[in-house]
A = this chain, B = another copy of it.
Amino acid sequence: MTAICSMIIFQPHGIRVETTEGRTILEVANEAGIKINSICGGEGLCGKCRIIIREGKQNLSPPTEAEKRVLSKEDLANNFRLACQTKIEKEGLIIIEVPPESQIDRQRLLLRGLEREIKPQPAIRKLLLRLKEPSLIDVVADADRLLGAVESQTGLKVKMDYEALKRVPHLLRQGKWRVSVTLWRDEEIISVEPDFSSDLYGFAVDVGTTKLAGYLVDLNNGKIIASASMMNPQIVYGEDVITRIKFASEDEENLKALNRSVIEGINGMILEACKEARVSPEKIYDMTVAGNTAMHHIFLGIPPNYVALMPYSAALQSAVDVKARELGVKINPGAYVHALPAIAGFVGGDAIADVLATEIYNADEISMLIDIGTNTEIVLGNKENLVACSCASGPAFEGAHIKHGMRAVSGAIEHIWINPDTFEVGYKTIDDEKPHGLCGSAIIDVVAEMLKTGLIDSSGRFVTKAETPRLRRKGNSVEFVIAWKDETSNAYDIAVTQNDVREIQLAKAAIYTGASVLMKHRKIQPSDIQRVYLAGAFGNYVDPQNAKIIGMYPDVPLERVKFVGNTAGSGARMTLISIDSRKTAEDLAKRIEYVELGADPNFQDEFLKATYLPHMEPERFPSVMAILNKRSNRL
């Protein structure tokens, strides 16, 4: 192999990279920290990694069959390529532009979720100790002297972290025999510091498939003092859980790469939050992590392989405490990271955190909790009995698999309404910028609006007799134009296609089927459900009425529907603040009954019926049908 050397400049980042032949632009970009969208795991299928070659076309491989399928002739003529397909072939300068729709930006992330006041009762506490200086007649060793002082102040016989131990001799003298000592669970000294500071911080993390959220908490009072969020950097290895599990299963090195990427992301959030709050990361002595089972396993470096294979066994359900340094998490080196327990299979610590935060485990009334994400967890029940399942709802609500779909960043259309008489379209974009795509809430809106206005029928098919230039045939398909190209920021018409509607039908059917299997399991009717909690980062921007119109959740009166935001984050924070919450979480993990959807004999049938809008059995959605019938009567 003769390695040749090329220089690539990425715009608008202005980042220069030297690289060798045979590598794809996506690989090079990933390594350079330039995050380019990629949903299909680099297989040339999703078309999300579009880039523009500004210079050096002759040094690159010619367009592949995959690119010819995904990109239009016009695109190819304008030097659009897919980063995952384009390989460096010859030495020389290459200038690449990453257009906004291909950049993984900071998404509009719902950071806070429902918060309950709980009494701080953290796993750690600090002691301020004055030690007697040793002398020839008092020769007790340094560490034993310290352990003795802890015992005489607290009555506790504790162990000492090995890294802390190594630093004890210098620290005691540096602090002139006055030191602060951090105890973990009254069992172990995890840190010794040569000061009398009572600073005591913790960090709670919600590891979502798509996003990470972190909260820096003052454990002296339980208050959040800074927070940070970012896209899960694993996203470059594939957008959904299954793609990542597949990738991790192929090779031990792949698992390591996924693990490192999430750990680095979390370390970045820690630094950001610490900078904002002017806190040293060394003063973070505890951390909790909630995530679905795959995210949890990958975070811990545990192979997630079998989570995706029949019978979908997790490697670990119980809560676990691992030293931050063994994980590479950069907080106090003696600190532990507490990973929340999981229920089963794909229902992980994030669902436990949701249940903790909403407190449905304590309620008399029956609640349904739906944490919408690439993987959607549903929990149903009350204090007597809780059942849970996991639905592979996919990333459509995050804008993926949707032709003009995009994340909820500036310029994304977030709400849409259609005039039932003229079929004219109104929309609102995030930050009121020129639109360049549709985010999840807009996609739900447009499907619901098209259903209400009769542009699509209950099977999801476009009703082509509607008289409007917005409804048009394109190639073999039909699409409805939301924004004309002169309104947009990217000189394309933004439209919703027949295929986009299909994607939404599949995604919402997955969620509804999960809800319906759980209801059947508990013999519960929609009218029995006193409260529907919609959780997840994207929840708050969704129009609950429109979500119900498309049949995403059971027909429950709107006033019973409550958005609770990122409750996974809230639960992670609660377990950070209180060891009682950790105990509750462990109890819940054992108490909540897991329902494997695949094991339900009617699952496929239920799913198929649920792909209809709102459902093949309209009697299940009386309030929705009332709306739809009113509209059609008016027409």
Please report the C-alpha to C-alpha distance between residue A168 and residue B317 in the assembled complex, in whole angstroms: 13
Please report the C-alpha to C-alpha distance between residue A166 and residue B315 in the assembled complex, in whole angstroms: 8
> Which of B139, B144, B169 contacts A318 (CB under 8 A)?
B144
What is the CB-to-nearest-CB distance from A190 to chain B, in angstroms, rounded to a whole number?
Answer: 14
Are A316 and B170 in contact, CB atoms less than 8 angstroms apart?
Answer: no
With A141-B316, A142-B316, A165-B316 as contacts: A136 and B310 at CB distance below 8 Å: yes
User: Taking the complex as formed, is A599 at the interface, i.e. its CB lies under 8 A from any CB of chain B?
Assistant: yes
Please report the C-alpha to C-alpha distance between residue A141 and residue B135 in the assembled complex, in whole angstroms: 54
Are A315 and B136 in contact, CB atoms less than 8 angstroms apart?
Answer: no
User: Taking the complex as formed, is A302 at the interface, i.e. its CB lies under 8 A from any CB of chain B?
Assistant: yes
Are B136 and A168 in contact, CB atoms less than 8 angstroms apart?
Answer: no
Tell me if A's interface is mostly helix, strand, loop or mixed.
mixed
Q: How many residues belonging to A are interface residues under a CB distance threshold of 8 Å?
A: 46
User: Taking the complex as formed, is A162 at the interface, i.e. its CB lies under 8 A from any CB of chain B?
Assistant: yes
Are B165 and A311 in contact, CB atoms less than 8 angstroms apart?
Answer: no
What is the CB-to-nearest-CB distance from A607 to chain B, in angstroms, rounded to a whole number?
Answer: 17
Please report the C-alpha to C-alpha distance between residue A320 and residue B144 in the assembled complex, in whole angstroms: 11
Q: Please give me the residue from chain B that is nearest to A168 by CB atom.
A: B315
What is the CB-to-nearest-CB distance from A177 to chain B, in angstroms, rounded to a whole number?
Answer: 11
User: Max chain B CB contacts within 10 Å: which of A137, A139, A165, A306?
Assistant: A139
Residues on B with C-beta less than 8 A from A137 are: 599
With A166-B301, A169-B305 as contacts: A313 and B139 at CB distance below 8 Å: yes
What is the CB-to-nearest-CB distance from A302 to chain B, in angstroms, rounded to a whole number?
Answer: 5
Are B322 and A139 in contact, CB atoms less than 8 angstroms apart?
Answer: no
Residues on B with C-beta less than 8 A from A596 are: 136, 139
Residues on B with C-beta less than 8 A from A168 are: 302, 315-316
User: Taking the complex as formed, is A392 at the interface, i.e. its CB lies under 8 A from any CB of chain B?
Assistant: no
What is the CB-to-nearest-CB distance from A333 to chain B, in angstroms, rounded to a whole number?
Answer: 11
Chain A stretch 294-328: residues in CB contact (< 8 A) with chain B = 300-303, 305-306, 310-318, 320, 322-323, 326
What is the CB-to-nearest-CB distance from A259 to chain B, in angstroms, rounded to a whole number?
Answer: 10
> Which of B136, B173, B301, B320 contacts A311 (CB under 8 A)?
B136
Please report the C-alpha to C-alpha distance between residue A314 and residue B144 in the assembled complex, in whole angstroms: 9
Q: Please give me the residue from chain B that is nearest to A145 by CB atom.
A: B313
Are B170 and A303 in contact, CB atoms less than 8 angstroms apart?
Answer: yes
Please report the C-alpha to C-alpha distance between residue A311 and residue B137 in the assembled complex, in whole angstroms: 9
> Which of B136, B144, B170, B313 contacts A141 (CB under 8 A)?
B313
With A135-B311, A139-B594 as contacts: A162 and B326 at CB distance below 8 Å: yes
Chain A stretch 137-196: residues in CB contact (< 8 A) with chain B = 137-144, 147, 160, 162, 165-166, 168-170, 173
Please report the C-alpha to C-alpha distance between residue A168 and residue B297 in the assembled complex, in whole angstroms: 12
User: Max chain B CB contacts within 10 Å: which of A144, A301, A310, A317?
Assistant: A144
Chain A stretch 45-79: residues in CB contact (< 8 A) with chain B = none
Residues on B with C-beta less than 8 A from A310 are: 136
A-B pairs with beta carbons under 8 Å apart, 29 shown: A134-B313, A136-B598, A136-B599, A139-B312, A139-B594, A139-B596, A140-B313, A140-B344, A141-B313, A141-B317, A141-B342, A142-B306, A143-B317, A144-B316, A144-B317, A147-B318, A160-B320, A162-B320, A165-B300, A165-B315, A166-B300, A166-B301, A166-B302, A166-B303, A169-B302, A169-B303, A169-B305, A169-B306, A170-B303
With A139-B344, A169-B302 known, 9 other A-B pairs at CB within 8 A are: A134-B313, A135-B311, A136-B598, A139-B345, A141-B314, A141-B342, A142-B313, A166-B302, A169-B315
